[in-house]
Structure 1
C-alpha cells in the first residue's frame, strides 16, 4: 500500500476516568461505571444509529490517545506477568502498539438524540475521558462470544478478593459526593480498587503505600494490607474545584 490510511474520530467518550492510573485493564470489570459516547459532526445523525437500540452491547474501536507519542516496541512487559517478563506486543493488549488502536465491548444503556446531538449511554467501558472513538459496531453474541477460547497467560480474571473499607472521613465524603454526582460511587470505587491498579512491582513487596486515583472530579486515597483495601480520603480534585 503506497499511501497511509487516514482516520478521523467519529465520536469522543465522556467517562469518569480522568487519568490512566486506576482504569481497569479490561472492559466489563467495573460495570457500575457509566460513560457517554458523543457523536461528532458529520456523524451525529440519528440515521447513523438507527437500529442500534436493538443491541444490548456494542463494540467501541478507539485510539489510545494518551500513548500516541510514546512509540512502540516489539516486546512489552504485561502487568499480568508481574512487569518483569517480556511478551510480544501482538500477544498482549499493551496500548503501546504500532497503531495504537483499542477495542472494548460495552453495554448499551440507551441512545439519546437531542437536537443536532446524538449520545450513546454505555456502562463497563475502560476508556480514559475524552478518548477518540473511530468506529462503533454491534456486538453479535453468536459470533463474538467464544466460550471455548483459551489464553494460558490470563485464564481468568485477576482481582483482589479483599473487602473494601472506608474510614469515617471517607464514608462521610462518599455519601456527600454520591448525592452530588448522582452516581453509585461506593460500588464504583469498590469495583475499580478490586481490579488492583497498583504497579506490578509494588504488589510483590510487603511495604505498605498510599495510592491515589481520580474518579469523576474526585481524588481517592487508598492502601492495601493483608486484611482489606482501605479508602482513607475522598476529596474534590483541586483543579476541578477551581473550574467549578
Structure 2
C-alpha cells in the first residue's frame, strides 16, 4: 500500500506565540482572531471562489509543536481535572498517532491583495504559524447536531476566574491599546480561562507563569491572600519580547 504524502496549503497567523497560551476551544476568547495565508502554489483567488458564501469554515491542521512519535494510547484531558485517563481517540489531545487537529472558525473576510490570498477569521484556538492542510466550508444542516451526546465536554467550561491588573499596569495598558485595541480585555479573557496544568488547580500555587501574546510576555500568578479561597489571577508584568526569538508556531 502506497503512503500518502501531505503538505500544508496555508499557515495561520494568530496572537498566540506558544501552545500554553492557546484557549482549549475556539470562541472562548473574542479578541484571539486569526488570519490564514495561502501558500504557493495554492495562493490564487480561484482556490477560494465561492467560499464567501459561508459564514464558518473547518480547518484541518497539524499540531506541529508536538515531538514526533510521542503519542499515547491514553491521555488525561484538562476537563477531567488532569487525573482521569481516557483513550486518546475519545479526546482532542494533541499527542495523537497522526498529529492532526480540526477546528471551526468564523470566516469574516476574504482578501486578495498583492498576489496573496488571506482569510480573516474570528476567534481561533491555534498557535501562530500552525500549518493548515485543508479548509472546508461549515454546512449547518449537516455539521450541527444539537441533540448529540458530548461525553465529558457536554457543557461550556465553567465560569472563568477573576483577573486583576496593578494600577501601574492599567495605566500602561492605556498606551499599549493605542496600537493593540482591547489588549487588556484580550489578556484578561485568555488568562481567566486558567491555562495552568489541571493538576495545579485548586491547590496552593505560588508559581509565577509566563505567557506570550502578540509581542509581549505576560507574567502572572495567584494573587497573594487568595490561595485556598476564591482564586484571583494577578497580572504582574507586561514586557516586550525579542521578536527574533518568538516561536513561529
TM-score, normalization: structure 2?
A: 0.90
Structure 1 position 229 matched with structure 2 position 227: no
Tell me the residue number matched to 1:45. Answer: 44
Tell me the residue number matched to 1:184. Answer: 182
**CA distances 1:216-239 after superposition (whole Å, capped 9, x unpaired):** 0011112234253222221111x2
| Equivalent residue runs for 1:72-221 within 5 Å | 72-181=71-180, 183-221=181-219
| Residue segments in structure 2 that go unaligned for 5+ positions in a row | none
Contact 1:159 1:194 in 2 (8 A): no
What's the offset of the Cα at 1:193? 1.4
What's the offset of the Cα at 1:71? 1.9
What's the offset of the Cα at 1:151? 2.1
CA distance 1:150–1:194, shift in 2 (3 Å)? farther
Say which SS state the counterpart of residue 67 (structure 1) adopts: coil
Contact 1:211 1:222 in 2 (8 A): yes
Structure 1 Cα separation of the partners of residues 2 and 59 of structure 2 = 26
Structure 2 Cα separation of the partners of residues 198 and 127 of structure 1 = 17
Say which SS state the counterpart of residue 21 (structure 2) adopts: coil
**CA distances 1:32-71 after superposition (whole Å, capped 9, x unpaired):** 2111100001111111111111111111110001115252
**CA distances 1:106-150 after superposition (whole Å, capped 9, x unpaired):** 111211101211001112111111100000111111111111112
Structure 2 Cα separation of the partners of residues 61 and 131 of structure 1 = 10
Contact 1:16 1:129 in 2 (8 A): yes
Say which SS state the counterpart of residue 136 (structure 2) adopts: strand
CA distance 1:241–1:178, shift in 2 (3 Å)? farther
TM-score, normalization: structure 1?
A: 0.92
CA-atom RMSD in angstroms: 1.8
Structure 1 position 240 matched with structure 2 position 238: no
Structure 2 Cα separation of the partners of residues 193 and 211 of structure 1 = 10
Structure 2 Cα separation of the partners of residues 86 and 161 of structure 1 = 24
Structure 2 Cα separation of the partners of residues 133 and 242 of structure 1 = 23
Contact 1:173 1:235 in 2 (8 A): no
